[in-house]
Amino acid sequence: MSEPLPARSVAIADASDIVTARRVARELCEALGLGKADQTRLATAVSELTRNVIQYAGSGTCVIEDASDAAQRRARVLVEDQGPGIPDLQLALSDGYSTSGGLGAGLPGTRRLVDDFHIESEPGRTRVTIALAKPR
């Protein structure tokens, strides 16, 4: 197995960072040899999650890394913020629910795009981990 590709951290401070983060996500997928559909899925998922950071927390970080192992090629993204947190995760993950006048497709939509989706949230910290993987 070759060395993992270097992780990249993108500071999310304003809306232009959303564009940067999703470009980096696409680049990692491409470097890992994931197809265009997966590149678009991950870029879109990153776009949703980093937009939530801007909208609800103001700022945060997005770490995009190669988490491949012997069995699979895996692109993993961690999005974290120190915002107010999500009071009702169950509700936030249900389709059509939005506190921001959006379509409510953000979190549930993101979950459907990726292979792994993990979210933990409390006041002062929200952390979402997603990953897309393909067998080697």
Partner 1 sequence: MKIPILRLDRVLLVSIQADLSDNDAMEFQSDLVTRVAEVEALGVAIDITALDVVDSYMARVINDTASMVRLLGAEVVICGVQPFVALTLVEMGRDLLGADCTFNLGEGLALLRQRIAKRGDVRFTEDEDV
Q: Please report, as ranges, the residues that interact with partner 1 according to CB under 8 A.
A: 15-16, 18-19, 22, 26, 36-37, 39-41, 43-44, 47-48, 51, 54, 95, 102-103, 105-106, 108-110, 112-113
* Residue 124 beta carbon to partner 1: minimum distance, rounded to whole angstroms: 25
Query: Considering beta carbons, is residue 18 or 133 the nearer one to partner 1?
Result: 18
* Residue 101 beta carbon to partner 1: minimum distance, rounded to whole angstroms: 9
Q: How far apart are CA 60 and CA 126, in angstroms?
A: 9
Determine the length of the chain. 136
* Residue 110 beta carbon to partner 1: minimum distance, rounded to whole angstroms: 7
* Residue 81 beta carbon to partner 1: minimum distance, rounded to whole angstroms: 17
Query: Considering beta carbons, is residue 38 or 65 the nearer one to partner 1?
Result: 38
